[in-house]
Amino acid sequence: MVMVAALLSCGDQGEARKETIEERLMNSFSSESPQLQEHVAQIIQEARRLQYQQALNKLALLSATRRLTKDQKIAVELLTKQLRYDMEEQMFQKQSKQE
């Protein structure tokens, strides 16, 4: 009975909503200049519009031209990996439809 109560109380703590990769990127640049924040927002919009190559190019330039914090580096890497994966999936789907 004690074990059941302990398990039930664990669920009552509430789970925090998990931050998306895009949110993590925006949050990591929240203390930067408004221009840089707008640039990051544009990257995210391109990613959402499935403009993977444009978003990847801008992420590469961002990481190459700025000294990023640890959190920023992680966020850029995560979004880059996700975009590459999504782009490959899109390519595979197009190929399978052509066959």
Inside any domain, residue 14: no
Q: Is the dihedral of CA 15, 18, 70, 33 positive or negative?
A: negative
Query: How open is the CA angle 92-58-17, to the nearest 5 degrees?
Result: 75
In whole angstroms, what separates CA 15 from the centre of its chain? 20
Task: Give residue 59's domain range.
Answer: 19-98
pLDDT single digits (tens) 60-98: 999 999 999 999 999 999 999 999 999 999 888 888 887
Inside any domain, residue 87: yes
Sheet strands (E) in the chain: none
Inside any domain, residue 70: yes
Inside any domain, residue 3: no
- In angstroms, the CA 74 to CA 42 distance is 19
pTM (two decimals): 0.76
Number of domains in the chain: 1
